[in-house]
Homo-oligomer: A and B are copies of this chain.
């Protein structure tokens, strides 16, 4: 049985890309990857299969054939994966499994989303469609309720929640592909317009177009593409319900706890071993919750964890050096792939102004809330150089 390794990545700058077609986004990330593979790649000969993550919000790509056309990679299996906001991570996971199965040697993983062409205003208004939307449970409301509960139950302060946005926006100013590159203070966050109490505008990730790609291969071929492959040490994926009377589900995401437990068990690493993490901060509160779900701190201690500066770029365990979803943006199909790409760069020492010194073990975390209102999926990957 072979391991899977990330051996290349490519990205198009995240942002408002009205002038880019869906194919342009896919092609852009793909070409950036092809051009950046250390030892070069002959894509038609080398790439055996493609996993392609998109919710297809602009409704242009419901099939693997979409990515084949954008890249010119025909005569290969090409699969579209959908898994709410964890779509990109699950595309990566399916590619990793196929490489491990030995049926293919080299997989292209590519995620893309045109969010701004959607008339739904997806992040703001949709998502909890079937049961709850008519009752006002939009995504900000759903996460806002978790924030108020966390504040009530653990004395988490509004300022601690805002600190996540402050940190990630500061990181984003140093990350070249981030969408919203501006710094903001705790006061700025707390004075920005209310979206759904207690979450204000700067507590919410922007609506962003983007695409990202990574290349995955097996033990035997990894050194063919680079002298510095990044090994997928372990992954976990889980699905949960919000309908069960689980107290943790009101302040946390049990699926993230299950997924990270699986990833830690498979990789042999624990939370203390993680040198750098990219985690799902669709809202500021989500990142606080995630510190606890991943075991970076105890339940209820997330506020103190950020107060102490631990997840800051110069802290003991930097989280979201890329600026996270809050600054970089959250083009859904691309999000998880871009997190993997950033950890890949961090573990190779290629992360430029957001480089975490001597990062050897990185963690990627991505959650998704099912449109049918009641389920969360969560994906965690542990990678090592």
Contacts and interface: CB of A to CB of B under 8 A. Distances in A.
Interface of A: 1, 49-50, 55-56, 59-66, 68-69, 73-84, 90, 93-94, 97-98, 100-103, 129-130, 237-241, 243-244, 254-255, 258, 368-372, 374-377
A372 B100 contact: no
A372 B64 CA distance: 10
- List the 7 closest A-B pairs by CB distance, nearest first: A65-B375, A65-B370, A77-B237, A63-B370, A63-B84, A100-B101, A101-B101
User: What is the interface of chain A mostly: helix, strand, loop, or mixed?
Assistant: mixed
A377 B76 CA distance: 9
A103 B97 contact: yes
Contact of A68 (B130, B241, B254): B241
Contacts of A81: 79-82
Interface centre among A49, A65, A98 (most CB of B within 10 A): A65
Nearest to A254: B75
15 contacts: A1-B101, A60-B371, A61-B370, A61-B372, A62-B371, A63-B83, A63-B370, A64-B375, A69-B375, A73-B239, A75-B238, A77-B237, A77-B238, A78-B377, A79-B81
Nearest to A103: B97
Given A101-B100, A372-B69, A64 B83 contact: yes
A258 to B, nearest CB: 5
A231 to B, nearest CB: 15
A216 to B, nearest CB: 13
A30 B75 CA distance: 34
A43 to B, nearest CB: 14
Given A62-B370, A79-B237, A82-B82, 5 more contacts: A61-B371, A75-B240, A75-B255, A94-B97, A100-B102
Contacts of A66: 370-372, 375
B64 A55 contact: no
B90 A64 contact: yes
A284 to B, nearest CB: 23
Contacts of A80: 81-83
B102 A64 contact: no
